[in-house]
Amino acid sequence: MVSSIDGLVSGLSTSSMISQLMQVEAAPQNKLKAKAQTAQNAQNAYQSVNTKLKAVKTAADAMQSLTTWRSLKTESTSTSVTAAATGGMAGMSGSITFDVDQVARAQVSVVKNVDTTATTYPRSFTITNGSWSDSDADGTNDLFTASGAATTITIPADQDPTAANIAAAVNAAGLNVRATVVNTDGTNGVLQFSGTKTGAGNGFQVDLSAGGLTAEDTASQSALLKVNPGTAAEYAVSSDTNTFSGLMPGLAITATKKEAGVTVTAASDAAAVTAKMQAMVDAMNAALTEVKTQTAYNVGTKKGSPLTGDSTVREMSQAILGTVSRGLTYDRTLPDQTTETVDFGSLSQFGVGLDRDGKLTFDAAKFTAEYNKDPQKIQQVGSAFAKQVEDLADKQSTVITNSVTGRKNEIDSLNDQISSWDVRLVNKREALQKQYSGLEVALGKLQNQSSWLSGQLAGLM
C-alpha cells in the first residue's frame, strides 16, 4: 500500500515524482503485456479457424458415409399406410404390393353388469398370459393357449372386495394388463381389463369364476399383410405391432386399417444426397471466410487483423481452392481387386466450381441431375472428392493446432516474465518511497540545524 509522503519539508510532490518514475520503470513490462495480448489474439484467431476446419472435416465425413448415399425417399398409394426410411446401410430401392388383411390390437376383456357398490366380489383371482389363435380359420382368434402359470392377485385384507379394488389390485400387480371400472347407469357398470401390448402373442385370461363373474374377451391380434396378393408369389407376414420392418430393406412400413392393393415404393433420395454436398461446400466457404476475416488488412485505418501476414492460414486458403481448381483424380478398386486411377477432370461436371471472389459455388440442380442419371458414378466421384477434402482439413487442422500450441507456450512464457516484473516493480516502488522519505527526514534535520544556528547567531549580536 502506497502512503502519501509528499514533501512536508521540501515542498516537492514526491508521490507524483514516484508515479512518473514508476511509469518509466514499467515500460518494459507494458511491452511484454502488449506482446502477450497480441499472441492471445492470434491464438484465438487460430482456434476460430480450426473450428471451421473441423466443421469441414465433419461435413466431408458425412459425404462419404454409405448412409448418405443410401438415403431413401418413400411413397405409398394409401393414406393409411406409411413408409419411413430407417437409415443405415441396408436401404435399397424397390417396390412392394400387399393387402392389409388385419391390423394389430391389444386384448380387451369386459365383465358386464357389475354392481359398483357391491363388496361381495372374490378377494383372490388369477390372470394368465398366453396367445390367441384362429381355431377354425374364420378370421377370428378364438383359441387361447396359456404361456405359463397363472398369476394370483389378492385384494389386501384391509380393503373390501369391490370392483374398484379388483381394478386397483390388477394395476398394482405389474402385469401387461390395466383395469378400470366404468359406470354405465347408476350403480351398474363394467369391469374392463385392457392389454398394454398389441399382438396375438400378448393375450391373457382373467378368471373371476369364484365370484360368479365371467369376462367376455375381444382377443388380441397381430397385424397381417398378404404380399403379392393373387399371384403365385403370394405369402403372408405378421407383426405384433402395425409396423413391419422386414418387408423392404431399410424401410419401416406401418398400416393402420384394412385395405387391399397397397403399393409402397422406395427410391434413392437425391435431395438428401444433394443437401450433404451443399453442406460440405458451405463448410468450405465458411472456412475461407474465416481465414479472410482473420488475415484482413484495412488500408484506410492501416490496421491489420490477428493473423495478417500469417503464411500458414494463407496457404490453407490456397489449398482449399486448389482441391477444386485442379479437378479430381482418384484411385478406385476394380472387381478383381486391382486398382486403377480415374481422371475425372473438372468438378463442374457435377456442379462444384469457383467464382471470381475465391469462393466455391454449387449448382444443386446440376448435381441432382447427374446423380439421377448415374447414381453409382456420382457416389464414386462425390466420395472421392469428399475424401480429398477431409484429408486436407485434417492436415490443415493439425498445422493450426500446432500453431495454437506454439502461441500458448509463448503466452505462458510472457506471463511468467510479466509476473516477475510485478515483483520487481513492487520492490522498486518501495525503494523509491524509502529514498524520498529519507530525503524528507534529512531535509528536516538540516532545517532544524539551520534554525538553531540562526538563533545562536542572533544571540551573539
pLDDT at 115 over 50: yes
pLDDT at 12 over 80: no
| 240 Cβ neighbours under 8 A, 6+ residues apart | 104, 197, 198, 199, 200, 201, 202, 222, 223
Q: Which amino acid type is present at position 231?
A: T
Give pLDDT, residue 441: 66
Give pLDDT, residue 10: 53
Place of cell 515483483: 423
Residue 133 half-sphere exposure, CB side, CA atoms within 13 Å? 7
pLDDT at 152 over 90: yes
Query: How far is 42 from 309, CA to CA, in rounded Å?
Result: 11
Chain-wide mean pLDDT for the chain?
87
Question: Residue range 431-457: average pLDDT?
Answer: 70
For residue 427, CA distances in Å to 21, 278, 422 come to: 13, 62, 9
Tens digits of per-residue pLDDT, 44-98? 888 999 999 999 999 999 999 988 888 888 999 999 999 988 865 556 788 999 9
Query: How far is 130 from 177, CA to CA, in rounded Å?
Result: 12
SS3 state of residue 145: strand
> pTM of the entire structure?
0.65
Whose CA is closest to 313, among 409, 402, 399? Answer: 399
pLDDT category, 1, cuts 50, 70, 90? very low
Question: Residue range 186-199: average pLDDT?
Answer: 96
pLDDT at 425 over 90: no
Residue 250 half-sphere exposure, CB side, CA atoms within 13 Å? 24
Give pLDDT, residue 54: 94
271: its cell numbers: 435431395
Question: Residue range 112-123: average pLDDT?
Answer: 93
Least confident window among 147-161, 206-220, 306-320, 426-440: 426-440
For residue 394, CA distances in Å to 48, 96, 381 come to: 15, 44, 20
Q: Would you tell me how many other CB atoms lie within 10 Å of the CB of residue 265?
A: 18
What is the total residue count of the chain?
461
123 neighbors 199 (Cβ within 8 angstroms): no
46 neighbors 400 (Cβ within 8 angstroms): yes
144 neighbors 153 (Cβ within 8 angstroms): no
Give pLDDT, residue 2: 46
Give pLDDT, residue 82: 95
Least confident window among 152-156, 208-212, 411-415: 411-415
Tens digits of per-residue pLDDT, 343-378? 999 999 999 999 998 899 999 999 999 999 998 899
Angle at 336 between CA 330 and CA 339, to 5 degrees: 20
Task: Identify which has the larger pLDDT, 290 or 457.
Answer: 290
Whose CA is closest to 107, among 178, 26, 4, 20? Answer: 178
Whose CA is closest to 306, among 47, 53, 52, 56? Answer: 47
Tens digits of per-residue pLDDT, 305-338? 888 888 888 888 899 999 999 999 988 887 778 8
Tell me 105's DSSP state: B
pLDDT at 118 over 90: yes
β-bridge pairing 72-76 and 259-268: antiparallel
Query: How far is 16 from 435, CA to CA, in rounded Å?
Result: 14
Q: Which amino acid type is present at position 27?
A: A
Query: How far is 302 from 307, CA to CA, in rounded Å?
Result: 14
Question: Residue range 218-238: average pLDDT?
Answer: 95
